[in-house]
Protein backbone atom coordinates (compact mmCIF):
# COMPACT_ATOMS: atom_id res chain seq x y z
CA UNK A 1 0.00 0.00 0.00
CA UNK A 2 1.36 3.43 -0.97
CA UNK A 3 1.01 6.15 1.68
CA UNK A 4 1.24 9.63 0.24
CA UNK A 5 1.81 12.97 1.92
CA UNK A 6 -1.86 13.75 1.24
CA UNK A 7 -2.92 10.57 3.05
CA UNK A 8 -0.81 11.47 6.08
CA UNK A 9 -2.18 15.01 6.02
CA UNK A 10 -5.77 13.75 5.88
CA UNK A 11 -5.08 11.32 8.72
CA UNK A 12 -3.67 14.18 10.82
CA UNK A 13 -6.74 16.31 10.16
CA UNK A 14 -9.19 13.67 11.34
CA UNK A 15 -7.21 13.03 14.47
CA UNK A 16 -7.33 16.73 15.31
CA UNK A 17 -10.90 17.37 14.24
CA UNK A 18 -12.99 14.45 13.06
CA UNK A 19 -15.69 16.60 11.47
CA UNK A 20 -13.35 18.55 9.18
CA UNK A 21 -13.14 15.98 6.39
CA UNK A 22 -14.87 15.91 3.06
CA UNK A 23 -16.19 12.61 1.73
CA UNK A 24 -13.16 12.28 -0.58
CA UNK A 25 -10.74 12.90 2.28
CA UNK A 26 -12.61 10.37 4.44
CA UNK A 27 -12.33 7.77 1.65
CA UNK A 28 -8.58 8.40 1.43
CA UNK A 29 -8.28 8.00 5.20
CA UNK A 30 -10.22 4.73 5.13
CA UNK A 31 -7.68 3.32 2.65
CA UNK A 32 -4.86 3.82 5.19
CA UNK A 33 -6.33 1.56 7.87
CA UNK A 34 -8.60 -1.41 8.04
CA UNK A 35 -10.86 -0.23 10.83
CA UNK A 36 -11.39 2.04 13.78
CA UNK A 37 -12.66 0.95 17.17
CA UNK A 38 -13.98 3.58 19.54
CA UNK A 39 -14.08 2.63 23.23
CA UNK A 40 -15.88 4.84 25.75
CA UNK A 41 -17.01 4.49 29.32
CA UNK A 42 -20.75 4.90 29.77
CA UNK A 43 -21.92 8.45 30.42
CA UNK A 44 -22.92 9.76 33.83
CA UNK A 45 -25.45 7.58 35.60
CA UNK A 46 -28.38 8.56 37.76
CA UNK A 47 -27.48 7.75 41.37
CA UNK A 48 -30.71 6.02 42.35
CA UNK A 49 -29.11 3.32 44.52
CA UNK A 50 -29.89 0.50 42.09
CA UNK A 51 -27.42 -1.83 40.38
CA UNK A 52 -28.65 -0.81 36.91
CA UNK A 53 -29.35 2.93 36.87
CA UNK A 54 -30.28 4.93 33.78
CA UNK A 55 -28.27 7.92 32.64
CA UNK A 56 -28.59 11.23 34.43
CA UNK A 57 -29.59 14.35 32.49
CA UNK A 58 -25.89 15.21 32.13
CA UNK A 59 -25.19 11.66 30.94
CA UNK A 60 -27.93 11.86 28.32
CA UNK A 61 -26.43 15.10 26.99
CA UNK A 62 -22.96 13.50 26.89
CA UNK A 63 -24.31 10.43 25.05
CA UNK A 64 -25.83 12.68 22.39
CA UNK A 65 -22.48 14.47 22.03
CA UNK A 66 -20.97 11.29 20.55
CA UNK A 67 -22.88 12.03 17.33
CA UNK A 68 -21.08 15.37 16.96
CA UNK A 69 -17.65 13.91 17.73
CA UNK A 70 -17.86 11.14 15.13
CA UNK A 71 -20.03 12.54 12.32
CA UNK A 72 -17.94 11.25 9.42
CA UNK A 73 -16.95 7.87 10.85
CA UNK A 74 -19.38 5.26 9.51
CA UNK A 75 -20.10 2.72 12.22
CA UNK A 76 -21.17 -0.82 11.44
CA UNK A 77 -21.34 -2.07 15.00
CA UNK A 78 -22.19 -0.85 18.51
CA UNK A 79 -21.47 -3.04 21.53
CA UNK A 80 -22.69 -2.51 25.10
CA UNK A 81 -22.92 -4.52 28.29
CA UNK A 82 -26.19 -5.78 29.71
CA UNK A 83 -26.43 -2.65 31.87
CA UNK A 84 -28.71 0.08 30.57
CA UNK A 85 -26.20 2.88 31.17
CA UNK A 86 -23.91 1.48 28.45
CA UNK A 87 -26.83 0.89 26.09
CA UNK A 88 -28.24 4.38 26.66
CA UNK A 89 -24.80 5.88 26.04
CA UNK A 90 -24.66 4.27 22.60
CA UNK A 91 -28.33 4.68 21.63
CA UNK A 92 -28.04 8.16 20.03
CA UNK A 93 -25.02 7.29 17.87
CA UNK A 94 -26.41 3.84 17.00
CA UNK A 95 -29.67 5.47 15.90
CA UNK A 96 -27.74 8.07 13.86
CA UNK A 97 -25.85 5.25 12.09
CA UNK A 98 -28.97 3.08 11.74
CA UNK A 99 -27.35 0.15 13.54
CA UNK A 100 -28.50 -1.99 16.44
CA UNK A 101 -26.64 -2.38 19.70
CA UNK A 102 -25.15 -5.80 20.40
CA UNK A 103 -25.47 -6.68 24.08
CA UNK A 104 -22.67 -8.68 25.70
CA UNK A 105 -23.68 -10.05 29.09
CA UNK A 106 -21.58 -10.12 32.21
CA UNK A 107 -23.09 -13.16 33.95
CA UNK A 108 -20.24 -15.49 32.88
CA UNK A 109 -17.57 -13.28 34.41
CA UNK A 110 -15.38 -10.38 33.40
CA UNK A 111 -12.93 -12.33 31.26
CA UNK A 112 -15.71 -13.98 29.22
CA UNK A 113 -17.37 -10.56 28.81
CA UNK A 114 -14.14 -9.08 27.40
CA UNK A 115 -13.53 -12.15 25.19
CA UNK A 116 -17.01 -11.87 23.65
CA UNK A 117 -16.54 -8.15 22.94
CA UNK A 118 -13.23 -8.84 21.16
CA UNK A 119 -14.83 -11.64 19.13
CA UNK A 120 -17.66 -9.33 18.02
CA UNK A 121 -15.24 -6.56 17.04
CA UNK A 122 -13.00 -9.00 15.17
CA UNK A 123 -15.98 -10.50 13.32
CA UNK A 124 -16.79 -7.13 11.76
CA UNK A 125 -14.86 -5.57 8.90
CA UNK A 126 -16.32 -2.16 9.68
CA UNK A 127 -15.81 0.40 12.42
CA UNK A 128 -17.08 -0.37 15.91
CA UNK A 129 -17.99 1.57 19.03
CA UNK A 130 -17.94 -0.10 22.43
CA UNK A 131 -19.32 1.30 25.69
CA UNK A 132 -17.88 -0.21 28.82
CA UNK A 133 -17.44 0.54 32.50
CA UNK A 134 -14.60 2.02 34.54
CA UNK A 135 -13.25 -1.48 35.22
CA UNK A 136 -13.71 -2.85 31.69
CA UNK A 137 -12.54 -0.03 29.38
CA UNK A 138 -8.81 -0.60 30.10
CA UNK A 139 -9.26 -4.38 29.69
CA UNK A 140 -11.14 -3.99 26.40
CA UNK A 141 -8.45 -1.70 24.97
CA UNK A 142 -5.70 -4.10 25.98
CA UNK A 143 -7.57 -7.15 24.64
CA UNK A 144 -7.99 -5.39 21.29
CA UNK A 145 -4.22 -4.93 21.01
CA UNK A 146 -3.94 -1.44 22.45
CA UNK A 147 -1.49 -0.36 25.14
CA UNK A 148 -2.15 -0.47 28.85
CA UNK A 149 -3.97 2.68 29.97
CA UNK A 150 -4.36 4.30 33.35
CA UNK A 151 -7.26 2.79 35.31
CA UNK A 152 -10.43 4.88 35.24
CA UNK A 153 -11.89 6.33 38.42
CA UNK A 154 -15.54 6.48 39.30
CA UNK A 155 -15.61 10.16 38.23
CA UNK A 156 -13.95 9.69 34.81
CA UNK A 157 -16.48 10.47 32.09
CA UNK A 158 -16.12 11.62 28.51
CA UNK A 159 -12.86 9.95 27.56
CA UNK A 160 -12.92 8.52 24.05
CA UNK A 161 -10.28 6.00 23.04
CA UNK A 162 -9.72 5.65 19.31
CA UNK A 163 -8.00 2.43 18.31
CA UNK A 164 -6.81 2.39 14.72
CA UNK A 165 -6.20 -1.13 13.45
CA UNK A 166 -4.14 -1.04 10.29
CA UNK A 167 -4.26 -3.67 7.56
CA UNK A 168 -0.84 -4.85 8.82
CA UNK A 169 -2.32 -5.58 12.26
CA UNK A 170 -0.58 -2.62 13.88
CA UNK A 171 -2.76 -0.97 16.52
CA UNK A 172 -2.43 2.64 17.63
CA UNK A 173 -4.37 4.43 20.34
CA UNK A 174 -5.41 8.04 20.70
CA UNK A 175 -7.31 9.52 23.62
CA UNK A 176 -9.85 12.28 23.05
CA UNK A 177 -12.69 13.80 25.07
CA UNK A 178 -16.37 14.25 24.25
CA UNK A 179 -19.20 16.19 25.85
CA UNK A 180 -19.01 18.72 28.65
Mean pLDDT per block of 10 residues along the chain (180 residues) reads: 42 44 50 81 94 96 93 93 98 96 97 97 95 97 95 94 92 93
**What does the pLDDT read at residue 23?**
55
120-to-35, 76, 103, 163, 165 alpha-carbon distances in Å: 13, 11, 10, 15, 15
**What does the pLDDT read at residue 167?**
86
What domains does the chain contain, in order, with CATH numbers? 1-32 (no CATH), 33-177 (3.40.50.1240)
CB 129 within 8 A of CB 79: yes
SS3 101: strand
pTM over the 0.85 mark? no
**What does the pLDDT read at residue 36?**
96
Which parts of 42-110 are beta strand (E)? 75-81, 101-104
Amino acid sequence: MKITIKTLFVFAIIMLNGNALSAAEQATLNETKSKTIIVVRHAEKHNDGTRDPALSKKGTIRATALINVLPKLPLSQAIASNYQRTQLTLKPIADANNISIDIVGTADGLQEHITQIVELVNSSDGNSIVAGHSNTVPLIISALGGPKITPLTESDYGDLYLLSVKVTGEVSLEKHHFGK
